[in-house]
Amino acid sequence: MLLDGKKLVVTGVLTKDSIAAAVARLAQEQGAELVLTSFGRGMRLTQRVARTLPAPADVVELDVTDPAQHAALADELGTRWGKVDGALHAVGFAPEACLGQDDGILAAGWDDVATALHVSAYSLKSLTETLLPLMPDGGSVVGLDFDATQAWPAYDWMGVAKAALEATNRYLARDVGARRVRVNLVAAGPLRTLAARSIPDFAAMEDAWATRAPLGWDVRDPEPVARACVALLSDWFPATTGEIVHVDGGAHVVALSRAEAQASLDAVAERDGAR
């Protein structure tokens, strides 16, 4: 099994349909022992999902913006296991003003943007830093990403936060590599998770993937993303760090679908013919 004997921390499990839940389930099937994290009102949701896993997992409180809770998590894991082999960073949040506003990114003030950046990007550094002392033999941190090379409809400041996450991933990989800790991201295509449903016009992203992905894309199936995360958490990628692995059916390599390209050509022809 890929993760036999591994001790892993999994953040971001809120519903059974979340990517993090799919990773947790597959990680246990591959031999890992898990601790999940959650906080506040989400604790009850996470605990409910934890009980449905192949081996019911404990849930430890962690607000990724609270240094005291980071310290408490490190103490708990040190007492429980004495070490950690890896972690899944599946945390992201942006206030309502940061998503889908008529004025796009112009609508949000700094306080809202700061929250989005803290939770969605800086927390990758915070989580890695918290776990580093528990990784004396090295380990793997894997974060969930969404392609930040383009400006997506309604994604606004969350798109900026994902760009910051990608940069953080590269710099962390540089700075913790000497400790044999790998840091990588998995850029997933759109999936119908609770987080996705909070994004206005999310259907526009789904439609883009349905027509562009050469391998096709099922917005209801997180399994391909979970497999990539589990592989990166294993020892099968010992020399890979700072990477962004796209698991999106190949959509990121295709600028326009054939239908979109034909529509553009038709529009140009119609415009030229009207001159």
Catalytic sites, residue numbers: 155, 162
> How many other β-carbons are positioned within 10 Å of the β-carbon of residue 224?
19
- Kindly report the three-state secondary structure assignment for every residue of the chain: CCCCCCEEEECCCCCCCCHHHHHHHHHHHCCCEEEEEECCCHHHHHHHHHCCCCCCCEEEECCCCCHHHHHHHHHHHHHHCCCCCEEEECCCCCCHHHCCCCCHHHHCCHHHHHHHHHHHHHHHHHHHHHHHHHCCCCEEEEEEECCCCCCCCCCHHHHHHHHHHHHHHHHHHHHHHHHCEEEEEEEECCCCCHHHHCCCCHHHHHHHHHHHCCCCCCCCCCHHHHHHHHHHHCCCCCCCCCCEEEECCCHHHCCCCHHHHHHHHHHHHHHHHHC
> Which tokens in the block code for residue 172?
């962390």
- Quick check: 108 and 155 in contact, CB under 8 A? no
- Report the C-alpha gap between 117 and 135 in whole angstroms: 26
What residues are paired with 7 via a beta bridge?
33
Query: Taking the mean position of all CA atoms in its chain, how far away is CA 253?
Result: 20
